[in-house]
Amino acid sequence: MKLKPHWQMLIALVAATLLGIILRSMDHSSVAGLIDFFQFVGNLFMALLKMIIVPLVASSVIVGIASLHGVKGFGRLLGKTAGFYALTSFLAICLGLMLVNVIEPGLKDGQANEAIAKAFTSHEANEAALDKVEMAKQRGADEQKPFDQLKGFFLRMVPPNIFAAASSNGQMLGLIFFSICFAVGMTRLPLERVKPLRDLFESINEVMITLTHTIMALSPIGVFALIVPVIYNTGGELFLSLGKYFGTVLLALGIHLFVIMPLVIRFLANVNPWAHFRAMKTALLTAFSTASSSATLPVTMRCIQEEAGVSKKTASFTLPLGATVNMDGTALYECVAVIFVAQVMGVDMSFTAQFMVVISALLTSVGVAGIPSASLVAIFIILTNSNIPGAETAMVALLAVDRLLDMTRTAVNVFGDSCAAIVIAKSEGEEVLTT
Ligand code: ASP
């Protein structure tokens, strides 16, 4: 009997965790080569997933919108999708804000926790972390106020060069915008003139879906190779001193994933949350293993159509957009991280200051790319804009322990997108499979 893909992935996850733990107890020089090899295989798997994103996104957005017959249906879908994304991200941020204020992970006996501040400063930055700080500084200089962040979003959305937009890692906004314009253009021409184009994009789309199936067959190997180095590299004193912070983030993400979102889909669309989880399980596991919503997109698209029964039209509109702009887990995480650093640095944040953090988390999460650790850049920007000292040190330290939290928040991000797809499908009168 052949095991189902999600079981294979789960087994790979557990086996990789065990192997990671064993390798940690061994001498570094004797296992370094093996870890390098796993990293290489993991990167190859991520590259395979990313390889099909551009043709998949372009063809599905074009096929989906071109089938809407006119701009009216498009405007309605856009309005509903944007409203749902804004609502759920806002709920996530409020939850994060509440928990970080109640648990106070950055304080000890009501005072700033100096041990954490010390662990932050004594942590050495590696090159990758410094590169990220540099990137954050550049973006931070352009996006000092919420209004600048909004401007930055629109500038990223309209691509002066579609090929450059298509090749930007994890930032699909320009590609989506162009594909939407292209498809709207198609709907304005008589059908016989655009029929060949429609057939062509439909065929491209089908080929990409077939390729997704093939790549998914390799996912247990990919998951295994990605997780071993994560477990091997995780740890150290910094990890231990941040235990309460980890707990706060994971608790908030858990409540959003297992309580808030299920209630939202139950009440807004009368969808059975358990059935929806079951339909999305492979996508959730892929998101968790890759820590990238963009790389997971082909799998999310497959699950929502084949397992949850959402139409191509709705899936291809809501999901590529969601993988780029809707990040509930990321928005929640940004808020918790910023308030946590403020607590550690002994900055007492007023209600207004916290409110500004909420707005900034909402806006910057829209601009965060769907790639690993992308939200650290947004956290840096909010910290600097809120005049909280130590943004750079905090970012380097948080980056060092980010992977596990990143994996979890990416799964929450992807689940949020899938909930939007199912709610919007139901509101459009579609018969889905998860009621
Ligand atoms: N890794 C996340 C994603 O791809 C983004 C982040 O929060 O860093 O959804």
Q: What is the pLDDT of residues 354-413, one digit of tens each?
A: 999 999 898 888 878 888 888 888 898 889 888 898 888 888 888 878 888 999 999 999
Q: Is 50 in the pocket of ligand 1 (CB under 6 A)?
A: no
Atom of ligand 1 at shortest range from CA of 293: 4
The Cα–Cα gap between 67 and 30 comes to 57
For position 345, what pLDDT does the model report?
92
84 lies in a domain?
yes
434 lies in a domain?
no
388 lies in a domain?
yes
Domain that holds residue 272: 5-427
| Phi and psi angles of residue 108, each rounded to the nearest 5 degrees, phi first | -135, 125
The Cα–Cα gap between 55 and 62 comes to 10
For position 71, what pLDDT does the model report?
60
Q: Is 322 in the pocket of ligand 1 (CB under 6 A)?
A: no
435 lies in a domain?
no
Which among 191, 207, 257 has a CA at the least distance from the CA of 407?
Answer: 257
| CATH assignment at residue 141 | 1.10.3860.10
Q: Is 173 in the pocket of ligand 1 (CB under 6 A)?
A: no
Which among 372, 397, 417, 44 has a CA at the least distance from the CA of 246?
Answer: 397
In 10 A of CB 351, how many CB atoms? Answer: 7
Domain tally, the chain: 1
Q: What is the pLDDT of residues 394-409, one digit of tens each?
A: 888 888 788 889 999 9
349 lies in a domain?
yes
286 lies in a domain?
yes
Atom of ligand 1 at shortest range from CA of 170: 4
Q: What is the pLDDT of residues 13-67, one digit of tens each?
A: 999 999 999 998 888 888 999 999 999 999 999 899 889 889 988 998 888 887 7
Amino acid in the structure at residue 417: D
Task: Name the residue of 284, 409, 417 to mutate for ligand 1: max ligand atoms within 8 A of Cβ.
Answer: 409
Task: Name the residue of 135, 375, 418 to mutate for ligand 1: max ligand atoms within 8 A of Cβ.
Answer: 375
398 lies in a domain?
yes
> Does the predicted model carry a pTM greater than 0.75?
yes
Q: What is the pLDDT of residues 283-301, one digit of tens each?
A: 999 999 999 999 999 999 9
136 lies in a domain?
yes
